[in-house]
Structure 1
Amino acid sequence: MVSEYLKQNTAEYHDAAEKLFNSEKIFNKTFTLEDYKKIINTNYLMLLHSEDKIFSNLSDKFSEKLQLNQRKKLPLIEKDLQSLSLENQNASHDLEFSNDYEALGAMYVIEGSTLGGNVIAKQLSKTEGFDNVTFNFFGCYQENTGPMWKNFKEVLDTEVTEENYNEVLSGAKKLYTFLLNVN
């Protein structure tokens, strides 16, 4: 299954992202508003440079099965930027996906961050200093987080054959590399 293949082959990128964002501080309640601004700004830059490109690379078959119209996160994270008094920016980096498979790999990174973001939002809402924070991006699917992730994994695992695993992995690595180097 391609979802397991991606999980295994992107683990080092995932760990590097957690380290970059000081994720351990989230759970020991030492995460600050400045830490949160960094994680939001970096995720914003990732979405700004990738979301439209991912969605436009996916064929209608995937658009429908993945309910892409319900997965747009850029407008949500822009609300977070505004509430944190951070500035919107223009896309300044070149990030391209060559086909459905690379786009799906990049989407794996974003959907995975949504899954983790739900946990982050719950944890931070119990942390001092986050009383007035609205978690638009990290809480985007709310109670539907599990079903949305399950749907994404199901489409990946049923639609991607082994001969395309490397292309999907390539898309995931492209987006992780961007995320880890953009700030």
Structure 2
Amino acid sequence: MEFRRSRMSLRAPTLAGLIEADGVVSRQRRNAARASTALRFLQDQPAVSPGAAMPAAGHLPVSSMKSDITACLPHVVLREQTRVEHERVEATAAMRHLFHDPLNVSSYAQLLRRYLELHAAWENRHATWLRGLVAVGWTYESRLPALECDLESLGDVSEAPVRKFESVATLSAWGALYVIEGSLLGGQVIARHLAGRFPAHPHRFFNLGSHRPAHAWKDFQILLDAALASPGDMRSALSQAKETFALFQTMFEALPANDRDGCIAQA
């Protein structure tokens, strides 16, 4: 997930702050804080009649127009309009434990198994669509091998049940993919913390984004913007992005109380 500023404790560093300190967040973030009004900008522009004189170049608010148009891009709208849902995920106890308390092996394995359940269900549901992304220039890397490797290294080799997801339109999968691909940014920060706690384990799942080129996230955003070309497409993707964040939140909150509390126990 592309993690953002949290309203959690002021005493502890937030995930968004850690990511920003590591220089992971795209510079485009500084250009778009007005997504809620940006969509109205283009709709409110007066039509120019055929043959009408255009305003003088010096009278065009170029910088303002550029900023508002940037805020209309689908990836920016998704980021701004899912901010609340994203912060709810960051505020879960399981997410806090990843950064501010020492995990034990059992708790770490339980968390990875939740991830495996979620990703297995989603990848199975959209397998054909994910394979077809190659045609538009994107190769989706399955999260399952990395999760299975990490669980095996922790001594957890049981089979994960595949949970059912509600049926969604194929195009709306772009909204879920935005959340899933964006999570690689925060995953790299999480991996560095886990490496200090469990140096003998590979942490392949959280390290998945480390081998990608620096421009990979920007490339994905360009493809996303091209795919969500109509208001209907955008609404569908936004709904699915919100649902995906909610699934992550539910996944973390569903951890048994003893596992959440066990996160502060020693291995």
Could you state the TM-score of these two structures normalised by the residue count of structure 1?
0.82
Q: Which amino acid aligns with 2:153?
A: S
Q: Is residue 180 from structure 1 mapped to residue 253 from structure 2 by the alignment?
A: no
Of stretches 51-60 and 139-148 in structure 1, the one that deviates more from structure 2 is: 51-60
* Cα-to-partner distance string for 1:18-62 (whole Å, 9 max, x where unaligned): 22254444444x2413553343222212101102323423583x3
Match of 1:12 among 76, 84, 97: 84
Q: CA distance change for structure 1 residues 162 and 40 in 2, over 3 Å: closer, same or farther?
A: same
Q: 5+ unaligned residues in a row in structure 2: which ranges?
A: 1-72, 255-267
- State the match for 2:121 in structure 1: 49
How far did residue 173 of structure 1 move? 2.0
Match of 1:166 among 235, 242, 249: 235
Q: 5+ unaligned residues in a row in structure 1: which ranges?
A: none
- State the match for 1:124 in structure 2: 194
Of stretches 159-168 and 86-95 in structure 1, the one that deviates more from structure 2 is: 86-95
Q: Which amino acid aligns with 2:115?
A: N
Larger Rg: 2
Q: Following the alignment from structure 1 to structure 2, what is the Cα–Cα distance between the partners of residues 75 and 93?
A: 20
Question: Equivalent residue of 1:141, what SS?
Answer: helix
**Stretches (4+) displaced over 6 A:** none
1:78-97 pair list within 5 angstroms: 78-86=148-156, 87-97=158-168
Question: Equivalent residue of 1:146, what SS?
Answer: coil
- State the match for 2:208 in structure 1: 140
- State the match for 1:151 in structure 2: 219
Q: CA distance change for structure 1 residues 51 and 21 in 2, over 3 Å: closer, same or farther?
A: farther
Could you state the TM-score of these two structures normalised by the residue count of structure 2?
0.59
Count of aligned pairs between the two proteins: 177
Q: Following the alignment from structure 1 to structure 2, what is the Cα–Cα distance between the partners of residues 162 and 59?
A: 23
Q: Could you tell me whether the CA contact under 8 Å between 2:178 and 2:241 is conserved in 1?
A: yes
* Cα-to-partner distance string for 1:74-113 (whole Å, 9 max, x where unaligned): 121111122223333121323332122x111111111111
Question: Equivalent residue of 1:136, what SS?
Answer: coil
- State the match for 1:106 in structure 2: 176
Q: Following the alignment from structure 1 to structure 2, what is the Cα–Cα distance between the partners of residues 152 and 53?
A: 21
RMSD: 2.4
1:18-97 pair list within 5 angstroms: 18-20=90-92, 22-28=94-100, 30-33=101-104, 34-57=106-129, 60=132, 62-68=133-139, 70-86=140-156, 87-97=158-168
Q: Which amino acid aligns with 2:190?
A: I
Q: Following the alignment from structure 1 to structure 2, what is the Cα–Cα distance between the partners of residues 94 and 53?
A: 8
Question: Equivalent residue of 2:163, what SS?
Answer: coil
* Cα-to-partner distance string for 1:154-177 (whole Å, 9 max, x where unaligned): 111233124121111122122222
Q: CA distance change for structure 1 residues 3 and 94 in 2, over 3 Å: closer, same or farther?
A: same
Q: Could you tell me whether the CA contact under 8 Å between 1:78 and 1:88 is conserved in 2?
A: no
How far did residue 135 of structure 1 move? 1.2
